[in-house]
Chains A and B, each alone.
Chain A
Amino acid sequence: MAALVLAEHDNASLKPSTLNAVTAAVQTGGEVAILVAGHNCGAVAAAAAQIAGVARVLVADAPQLADQLVENVAAQVVACAGGFTHLLAPSTAHGKNVMPRVAALLDVAQLSDIITVESADTFTRPIYAGNAIATVQSGDAVKVITVRTTGFDAAAATGGSAQVQPVDAIADSGKSVFMGREIAKNDRPELTAAKVVVSGGRGMGSAENFKILEPLADKLGAAMGASRAAVDAGYAPNDWQVGQTGKIVAPQLYVALGISGAIQHLAGMKDSKVIVAINKDAEAPIFGVADYGLVADLFQAVPELAAGL
Chain B
Amino acid sequence: MATEVIAVSCGVGACQETLRTALAIGADRAVLIETDVELQPLAVAKLLNALMAKEGAGLAILGKQAIDDDANQTGQMLAALAGLPQATFASKIEIADGKAAVIREVDGGLEKVTMTLPAVVTTDLRLNEPRYVTLPNIMKAKKKPMETLKPADLGVDVTPRLKTLKVSEPAGRKAGVKVADVAALIDKLKNEAKVI
Contacts and interface: CB of A to CB of B under 8 A. Distances in A.
Contact of B77 (A103, A113, A295): A103
Interface in A103-153: 103-105, 107-113, 122, 126-140
A145 B178 CA distance: 40
Nearest to A131: B170
Contacts of B69: 112, 127
Contact of B84 (A110, A175, A183): A175
Contact of A137 (B42, B165, B178): B165
A97 B88 contact: yes
Contact of B105 (A93, A94, A176, A253): A93
Interface stretch (A57-65, A162-170, A300-308): A300-308
Contact of B72 (A112, A122, A176, A309): A112
B177 A292 contact: yes
Interface in A169-225: 173-184, 190, 192, 196, 220
Contact of A105 (B68, B80, B125, B163): B80
Contact of B113 (A98, A178, A253): A178
Nearest to A144: B73
B173 A253 contact: no
B109 A183 contact: yes
Given A110-B73, A112-B70, A133-B169, A184 B108 contact: yes
B196 A109 contact: no
A126 B170 contact: yes
A96 interface: yes
Contact of B196 (A97, A111, A253): A253
Interface stretch (A21-29, A36-44, A46-54, A238-246): A238-246
Interface in B98-121: 101, 104-116, 119
Contacts of B124: 238
B96 interface: no
A136 B113 contact: no
B111 A292 contact: no
A108 B168 contact: no
A31 interface: no
Contacts of A295: 178
Contacts of B88: 70, 93, 96-97
Chain B binding surface SS class: mixed
Interface residues of A, number: 88
B108 A288 contact: no
Contacts of A113: 70
B167 A127 contact: yes
B86 A128 contact: no
A239 B109 contact: yes
Interface residues of B, number: 72
B79 interface: yes
A188 to B, nearest CB: 11
A100 B72 contact: yes
B68 A127 contact: yes
A74 B196 contact: no
A128 B66 CA distance: 9
A196 B178 CA distance: 20
Given A111-B162, A132-B169, A181 B110 contact: yes
A176 B167 CA distance: 40
Contacts of B77: 100-101, 103-104, 110
B164 A97 contact: no
A178 B176 CA distance: 48
A238 B108 contact: no
B161 A289 contact: no
A69 interface: yes
28 contacts: A70-B86, A96-B88, A97-B88, A100-B71, A101-B77, A102-B80, A104-B45, A104-B80, A104-B81, A108-B161, A109-B162, A112-B71, A126-B170, A127-B70, A127-B167, A133-B167, A134-B167, A176-B114, A183-B108, A231-B126, A237-B109, A288-B175, A289-B173, A291-B177, A293-B176, A294-B182, A294-B185, A305-B185
Interface of B: 40-42, 45, 64-65, 67-81, 84-89, 91, 101, 104-116, 119, 124-126, 161-170, 173, 175-179, 181-183, 185-186, 188-189, 193, 195-196
